[in-house]
């Protein structure tokens, strides 16, 4: 095999990967035969050979036996942006059910699994000096605890709020970043940490989160 043809082959492999990725991102993975048809192979197996090679390279994952079984790898390639639900208002404990009825979806790149992430629209000026303004969208990683100093989403009195967490003498304190507001020092049983803010976004114009019907 000549170097030229080997190069040509690598190029085709790349093309096939891009095709599959595109199809996955636009709705559903392609079947082996769809790949075959799109690239003009005269045998299904030829397409399959490439797909299996891509799996071996780690560019694709697959679920053997299943129809349309090729997937984008979750951890190794953070490349595909996952869509996480944007929640308008989080109330008492209803995080899981709220995720099923979001205001929209926001594309996020993260190593975290999709179902551990959600997005929340910020209300109020209490974090102004941390450069988080009302209307901003925060991306949150669900976790029950966080380190002192991190910005978290906490549920206090049936209402979700974004604050900086301080742990003092084993007690949870929620500190605003605005001198006009006072720290919240709730009883331990009246506060629950929903997650840690890992990203802040502000949509100024022309790029807004997708609203769901």
Partner DNA sequence: GACATTAACAGACATACGTCTGTATTGTCG
Partner DNA sequence: CGACAATACAGACGTATGTCTGTTAATGTC
The C-alpha atoms of residue 175 and residue 149 are separated, in whole angstroms, by 9
Asked about 163 being catalytic, the answer comes back as yes
14 binds DNA (CB under 7 A): no
- Residue closer to a second copy (CB basis): 15 or 171: 15
| Phi-psi map region of 89: left, alpha, beta (phi>0 left; psi -120 to 50 alpha) | beta
37 binds a second copy (CB under 8 A): no
Give, as ranges, the residues between 60 and 79 that touch DNA (CB under 7 A): 62, 64-69
Binding mask 88-117 for a second copy (x = CB under 8 A): ------------xx---xxxxxxxx-x---
124 Cβ partners below 8 Å, 6+ apart? 134
Q: Give min distance, CB of 27 to a second copy, in A.
A: 5
Q: Give min distance, CB of 100 to a second copy, in A.
A: 4
- DSSP string of 97-152, one letter each residue: HHHTS-SEEEEE--SS-GGGEEEEE--SSTTGGGT--TT-EEEEEE-S---TT-EE
Contact (Cβ atoms closer than 8 angstroms) between residue 139 and residue 108 = yes
Which residue, among 166, 165, 171, 164, has the nearest Cα to 188 in the 3D structure? Answer: 171
2 binds DNA (CB under 7 A): yes
Q: Give min distance, CB of 99 to a second copy, in A.
A: 9
181 binds DNA (CB under 7 A): no
Residues contributing to the site for a second copy (CB under 8 A):
15, 18, 22, 24-29, 31, 59, 67-68, 71-72, 76-83, 100-101, 105-112, 114, 128, 131-133, 136, 139, 141, 150-151, 196-213
């Amino acid at each position: 095999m000549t170097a030229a043809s080997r190069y040509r082959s690598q190029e085709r492999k790349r093309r096939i990967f891009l095709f599959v990725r595109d199809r996955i991102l636009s709705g559903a993975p392609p079947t082996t035969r769809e790949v075959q048809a799109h690239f003009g192979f005269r045998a299904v197996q030829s397409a399959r050979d490439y797909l299996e090679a891509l799996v071996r390279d780690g560019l694709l994952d697959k679920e053997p036996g299943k129809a349309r079984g090729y997937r984008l790898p979750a951890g190794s390639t953070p490349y595909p942006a996952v869509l996480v639900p944007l929640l308008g208002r989080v109330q008492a404990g209803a995080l899981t059910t709220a995720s099923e009825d979001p205001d929209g979806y926001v594309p996020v790149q993260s190593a975290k699994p999709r179902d551990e992430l959600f997005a929340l629209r910020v209300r109020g000026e209490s974090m102004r000096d941390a450069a988080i303004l009302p209307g901003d969208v925060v991306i949150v990683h669900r976790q029950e605890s966080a380190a002192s100093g991190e910005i978290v989403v906490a549920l206090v009195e049936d209402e979700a709020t974004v604050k900086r967490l301080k742990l003092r003498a084993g007690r949870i304190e929620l500190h605003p970043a605005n001198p006009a507001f006072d720290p919240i020092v709730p009883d331990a049983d009246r506060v629950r940490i929903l997650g840690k803010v890992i990203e802040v976004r502000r949509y100024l114009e022309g790029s807004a989160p997708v609203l769901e019907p």
